[in-house]
Amino acid sequence: MFEQAITSTKIIKTGQLSAADLDKLIFYCGGEQAHPCIITDSNPLPSRDRMLNELRKKRQVEVLNRVFPDPKVDDIMVMVNGLKEKPVNVVIGIGGGSSMDSAKAVAAVLSNGGDLNDYLGTDATRKIEKRDMKLILIPTTAGTGSEVTKVGVYTSRSGRKYTLGHPLMQADIAVLATEYVLGLPPAITASTTFDALSHALETLWNRNATPLTDRVAIESAVRILKWMEPAYESSLTGTGEGRSEMLEGACMAGIGFSMTGTAAVHALSFILSEEWHVPHGIACAFTLEDVYRMNISDGNTRKKLAQVAGALFGKGDEDRLVATLLDRMLTLKKKFGLPFTFRDLHIELDESRISALFDKSLDDPKMKNNIVPVDKRIVFELIRGKI
């Protein structure tokens, strides 16, 4: 219940979400005149598909599925334009971060007009000023935490990935339904658990950290580190162990970073996704150990990481705990088959291109949140170490 006290999103935790349940939520949000629109992707997901078929028997719903990883402005604008003449008053995003972020953008642009591209970047010409509809988000990965964050991530027409943040991007209701994450395949489980772990750690090694965000981040990091391995194993065996715990852990990490923003891992990850379309969680896992090593030069960050390690491995000397936590992450990364080098990603990167590609991460506001200041030389050395 602690989570509920620090976010404006109502969080509903459940094993299953039936069509009748969602129908009630739609009525609660939109009343007698409810006109819901569901944004999801087109990949099959049996639990969601069954539920939507049932829901269609109960009421008229618009279902739009122009959603792809790292949502692009043009795809979102196709959905917005298709809805302009419809009296939509409830937007529902069901899926991973890409579906939930697309739903956030559809609600924002339908309410404020114009083109999503104009809302992105530091020279944006449009601002979010209102939201005329309710927003319900239902994650099927665990995950981005987007169901409780006030940001969405979009690829602009220039190909750059931008974070668009505003309190009006925050969902009214988030439904954490375990059934939707039970069948997550191993590769997606691996990448999305590391995304959630990155959120928790980036909230800790953050210039905007406060005692409250530290508490949320430590608690979520412990929960994620405890359950990510059972969740990965259940992606291989189908037992379902760790799934609901990971769903909650990822959500809690989302509440944390929604207050601080993310930091160096995410700033660097955006370049990997822009240049080579590396999936978000894999792109985060890629530099996590390097940024960890960099940030433990900050004494306060060491203390916080030792607290996470202490909760997992028992009391001990701070240096030992911080090293043990790093070892644990490296072991899990290896077990999950995640990449350590550009060679593992099948990317050929020449040292001479590092600055041209990665220096732009230094202009990203996320990089400025990192507790240890990052400059061109640090970025160059870090990336060179991964070739």
Stretch that binds Fe ion, among 194-202, 220-228, 295-303, 338-346 (CB under 5 A): 194-202
**Residues 330, 282: Cα–Cα separation, whole Å:** 14
Site string for ligand NAD, 60-79 (x = CB under 6 A): ---------xx---------
- What are φ and ψ of residue 154, in 5° steps? -135, 145
Footprint on residues 165-194 left by ligand NAD (CB under 6 A): 180-181, 183-185, 188, 192
Footprint on residues 219-238 left by ligand NAD (CB under 6 A): none
- The size of the interface with ligand NAD (CB under 6 A), counted in residues, is 31
Nearer to Fe ion, 7 or 262 (CB): 262
Q: Reading across the β-sheet that carries 134-139, which strands appear in turn?
A: 10-14, 173-177, 134-139, 90-95, 36-39, 62-64
- Decide if residue 134 touches ligand NAD (CB under 6 A): no
Stretch that binds Fe ion, among 129-137, 164-172, 189-197, 370-378 (CB under 5 A): 189-197
Footprint on residues 276-295 left by ligand NAD (CB under 6 A): 280-281
Q: Of 23, 179, 195, 290, which one interacts with Fe ion (CB under 5 A)?
A: 195
Stretch that binds ligand NAD, among 20-28, 41-49, 233-241, 318-326 (CB under 6 A): 41-49
* Minimum CB distance to ligand NAD, residue 52 (Å): 14
Nearer to ligand NAD, 30 or 145 (CB): 145
* Minimum CB distance to Fe ion, residue 128 (Å): 21
Site string for ligand NAD, 93-112 (x = CB under 6 A): --xxxxx-x-----------
Nearer to Fe ion, 70 or 195 (CB): 195
* Minimum CB distance to Fe ion, residue 146 (Å): 9
* 370 token code pair: 């990192």
- Decide if residue 196 touches ligand NAD (CB under 6 A): no
Which among ligand NAD, Fe ion, none contacts residue 145 (Cβ within 5 to 8 A by kind)? ligand NAD
Q: Of 152, 249, 256, 339, which one interacts with ligand NAD (CB under 6 A)?
A: 152
**Residues 214, 257: Cα–Cα separation, whole Å:** 10
Instruction: Compute CA distances 104 → 9, 37, 100, 270, whole Å.
Output: 13, 12, 6, 20
* Minimum CB distance to ligand NAD, residue 284 (Å): 8
